[in-house]
Amino acid sequence: MSDIKENLIRQLRENGNKITPQRQAVIDAISENSASHLSTEEIYRKVKESFPDIGLATVYRTLLLFVKLGIVNKLNFDDGFNRYELSDDEDHRHHHLICMGCGSVTSVEEDLLENLENQLSTEYDFQIVDHRVKFYGYCSKCKTRHEGD
């Protein structure tokens, strides 16, 4: 099991929550498809493969708990769905490139705004704990169709 998943399970236990097979399956679905930024319904379909009797409400409640505990980040890419990714305290700030052609989402792991964040913290005496940046445009497959837009 990866260190990230072990840390998430530890966080659940430390907060007095049980590690049910269904909760483990939700963690697995998100971590095994991390590049896809799955929606609630997509996570549900993945979990349903292992747990055919699971309900969509159970997946919703599990995701709400995980977001509340900081185990999972809820993302909005303006496509009508909430999407999820595992939270990683080591790399809590990353950005997303969102293709307006095909809808693909690419994570940019570098924290491109660290200097700006430090400047704002100092100038405004403000403790910044996170930021989220979304860049909209066209991926390499779609950009030739939209050159000049």
What is the per-residue DSSP string for 10-31?
HHHHHTT----HHHHHHHHHHH
| Backbone φ/ψ region at 6: left (φ over 0), alpha (ψ -120 to 50), beta | alpha
44 or 5, higher pLDDT: 44
> Lowest-pLDDT range, 39-43, 59-63, 89-93?
89-93
Same fold, 1-89 and 93-149: no
Q: Which fold has domain 1-89?
A: Arc Repressor Mutant, subunit A (1.10.10)
As a whole number, the mean pLDDT across the chain is 85
Only one residue has tokens 């930024």, namely 37
* Local confidence band at 91 (pLDDT 50, 70, 90 cut-offs): very low
What is the Cα–Cα distance from 84 to 34, expressed in whole angstroms?
8
Contact of 103 with 79, CB cutoff 8 Å: yes
Residue ranges covered by each domain of the chain: 1-89, 93-149
The answer to whether residue 92 scores a pLDDT higher than 60 is no
With residue 120 as reference, give the H or E element that holds it.
helix 114-124
What is the Cα–Cα distance from 115 to 119, expressed in whole angstroms?
6
The answer to whether residue 32 scores a pLDDT higher than 50 is yes
Measured in whole angstroms, the distance separating CA 88 from the mean position of its chain's CA atoms is 10
> Lowest-pLDDT range, 21-25, 76-80, 107-111, 116-120?
107-111
The answer to whether residue 46 scores a pLDDT higher than 80 is yes
Rounded to two decimals, the pTM is: 0.73
The percent of residues in the chain predicted with pLDDT above 70, rounded, is 92
CATH architecture of 93-149: 2-Layer Sandwich (3.30)
